[in-house]
């Protein structure tokens, strides 16, 4: 599902200068300003004094809070995606602390497993609840200008503290003291005083059950703004979902997006691993799990994914992390032995691997993607999954490839670049990197890719259009527009391939996060006339 998304949607990043040589603040205050291509600067070298070297290790600062603050800085200011960053950091306390040292100028005590779990919880929660947290912080400041001019690191420390007090119900005064210490060491005493004042005020209003939150009243616009704060989503998403779903269902969707995500593991049958084999390994690792209700190769895991990663089950190709909603898209494709199948925007390759594993040693999946680096990762993963003999990678822009290609294929899957509005539970920061205007750009791209993909389908073959979006303009409306342009295609109902609970009135596959407790996804089977 990757076709140079950076070229389609470019979220704003923020310039910040961090003195990485000492724990004191830079002489220039860190202001939040919008620039086009910036990240945390670590280039300036300043000779360290003996005093600086003795202060490099600070045992007073809570390690999970220092790491969380730096991760949040990297995500928000550097434009990194939270889930990808989290994968890189999992199980690697040394790696995390190296980032802390480079960004703040000191290390804390080593991270243990509990600290790493807390980092995951705090970072994910602070991102999901960002709008809510910022509203509380702004309300508790002396004036709005104090909040608006707050330097980025100080704001992240406050978000962590407010989240821990309000959403995690941690012992409040311990939270206050430890975040004050972090602000004083990482910035300056005055920053610690500000954190102390705001967090202590928060503790008082929380104990009095008088958090300064908006009331759900007024016209539709006013209610949308209130809901956007209460459930921490952009206003445009709230208005859009209220329009399509109604307010009650929109609230349920936002509650789902803010919940701790569960993950699914797919047993790698391409390597001969059965679901029973995977269950045995999870039992050995003492990872709680339950069997998928919809797919024979899948297992749901709520906690313990880090244990799976540390045990090497992913690296060795025993299993893959893949949501059942994506697995059901492959069920809609229905790969059969001997078929030639094109995966049009293949990287990172989850659906490619699953389709290849279902060919039973006969046939080929052609994985097309514009990103050479991601295709290389796909190839390496295919080797560990032992399905590389049934995958051929092609580095190309689908639109150019389709124009010059003379071969037609049995099935063509276009898992199109989309808004990702169905996966906001797992991709916590995605909600803040999407704008309403992006949908128009994406819809144009989706139409272009559908037209290109259709050229690859043989007479009597099948084109499958899928997204990880729940928005009808990216799903049903794109299919309708395509069928008007291409009367040689017609809808093939998907009810033969997935449970009826996932089938819409028009025969499309659709997973609903609230109804099915899965990521939101969509797929349409379109058959080309003979």
Catalytic positions: 468
Identify the burial level of 42 via C-beta atoms within 10 angstroms of its C-beta, where 0-12 means exposed, 13-18 middle and 19 or more buried. middle
Give CA–CA dist 436/107, Å, rounded: 41
Query: Is 415 flagged in the annotation as binding?
Result: yes
> If we measure between CA atoms, which residue out of 198, 189, 187 comes closest to residue 160?
198
- Known binding residue 396? Answer is no
Distance CA 530, CA 520 (A): 33
Find the helix or strand (DSSP H, E) in which 75 lies.
helix 63-78
Is 369 known as a binding-site position? Answer: yes
Distance from the Cα of residue 482 to its chain's centroid: 29
493 in a labelled binding site:
no
- CB–CB of 324/292 below 8 Å? yes
Q: Is 461 annotated as a binding residue?
A: no
Pair 151, 30: CB distance under 8 Å: yes
| CB atoms inside a 10 Å sphere around CB 382 | 23
- Return the H-helix or E-strand segment holding 463: strand 457-467
Other residues' Cβ atoms within 10 Å of the Cβ of residue 502: 24
3-state SS track over 372-407: HHHHHHHHHHHHHCCCHHHEEEEECCHHHHHHHCCC
Residue 378, both tokens: 């796909």
For residues 523 and 462, the answer to whether their CB atoms sit within 8 Å is no
| CA gap 269, 387 in Å, rounded | 10
User: Whole-angstrom Cα distance, residue 212 to residue 105?
Assistant: 36
**Residues 6 or more apart whose Cβ sits within 8 Å of residue 337:** 359, 360, 361, 362, 363
By the 8 A CB rule, do 477 and 43 touch? no
397 is known to lie in a ligand binding site: yes
Q: Any known ligand binding at 177?
A: no
Is 495 annotated in a binding site? The answer is no
**C-alpha gyration radius of the chain:** 25
CA dist 67 to 16, 70, 72, 477, Å? Answer: 18, 5, 9, 44
Q: Do 469 and 520 meet the contact criterion of CB atoms below 8 Å apart? A: yes
CA distance 52 to 63: 19
Annotated binding site: 345-351, 369, 397, 415
Annotated binding site for S-adenosyl-L-methionine: 345-351, 369, 397, 415
């Amino acid at each position: 599902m990757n076709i140079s998304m950076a070229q389609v949607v470019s979220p704003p990043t923020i310039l910040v200068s961090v003195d990485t040589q000492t724990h004191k603040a830079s002489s220039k205050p860190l202001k939040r300003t919008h620039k086009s291509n910036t990240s945390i600067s670590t280039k300036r070298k300043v000779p360290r004094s003996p005093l600086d070297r003795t202060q490099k290790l600070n045992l007073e600062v809570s390690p999970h809070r220092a790491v969380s603050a730096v991760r949040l800085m990297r995500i928000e200011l550097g434009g990194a995606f939270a889930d990808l960053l989290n994968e890189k950091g999992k199980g690697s306390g040394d790696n995390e602390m190296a980032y802390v040292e480079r960004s703040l100028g000191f290390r804390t005590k080593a991270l243990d497993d509990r600290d790493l779990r807390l980092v995951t919880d705090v970072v994910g929660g602070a991102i999901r609840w960002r709008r809510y947290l910022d509203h509380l912080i702004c309300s508790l400041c002396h004036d709005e200008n104090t909040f608006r001019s707050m330097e980025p690191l100080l704001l992240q420390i406050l978000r962590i503290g407010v989240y821990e007090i309000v959403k995690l119900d941690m012992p409040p005064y311990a939270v206050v003291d430890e975040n004050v210490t972090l602000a004083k060491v990482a910035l300056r005493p005055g920053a610690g005083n500000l954190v102390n004042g705001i967090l202590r005020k928060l503790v008082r209003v929380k104990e009095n059950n008088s958090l300064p939150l908006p009331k759900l009243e007024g016209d539709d616009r006013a209610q949308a703004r209130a809901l956007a704060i209460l459930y921490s989503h952009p206003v445009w998403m709230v208005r859009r979902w209220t329009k399509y779903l109604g307010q009650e269902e929109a609230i349920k969707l936002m509650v789902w997006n803010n919940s701790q995500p569960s993950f699914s593991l797919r047993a790698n049958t391409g390597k001969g691993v059965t679901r029973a084999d995977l269950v045995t390994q999870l039992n050995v690792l003492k990872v709680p799990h339950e069997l998928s209700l919809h797919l024979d190769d899948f297992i749901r895991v709520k906690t313990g994914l880090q244990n799976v990663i540390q045990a090497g089950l992913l690296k060795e190709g025993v299993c893959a992390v893949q949501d059942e909603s994506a697995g059901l898209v492959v069920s809609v494709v229905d790969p059969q032995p001997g078929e030639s199948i094109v995966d049009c925007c293949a990287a990172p390759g989850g659906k490619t691997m699953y389709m290849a594993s279902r060919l039973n040693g006969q046939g080929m999946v052609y994985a097309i993607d514009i990103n050479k680096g991601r295709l290389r990762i796909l190839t390496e993963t295919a080797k560990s999954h032992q399905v590389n003999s049934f995958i051929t990678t092609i580095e190309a822009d689908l639109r150019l490839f389709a124009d010059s290609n003379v071969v037609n294929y049995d099935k063509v899957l276009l898992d199109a670049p989309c808004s990702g509005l169905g996966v906001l539970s797992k991709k916590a920061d995605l909600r803040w990197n999407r704008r309403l205007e992006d949908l128009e750009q994406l819809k144009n791209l989706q139409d272009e890719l559908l037209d290109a993909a259709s050229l690859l389908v043989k007479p009597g073959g099948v084109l499958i259009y899928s997204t990880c979006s729940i928005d009808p303009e990216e799903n049903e409306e794109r299919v309708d527009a395509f069928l008007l342009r291409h009367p040689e295609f017609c809808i093939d109902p998907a009810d033969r391939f997935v449970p009826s609970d996932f089938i819409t009135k028009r025969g499309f596959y659709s997973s609903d996060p609230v109804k099915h407790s899965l990521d939101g996804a969509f797929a349409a089977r379109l058959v080309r006339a003979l």
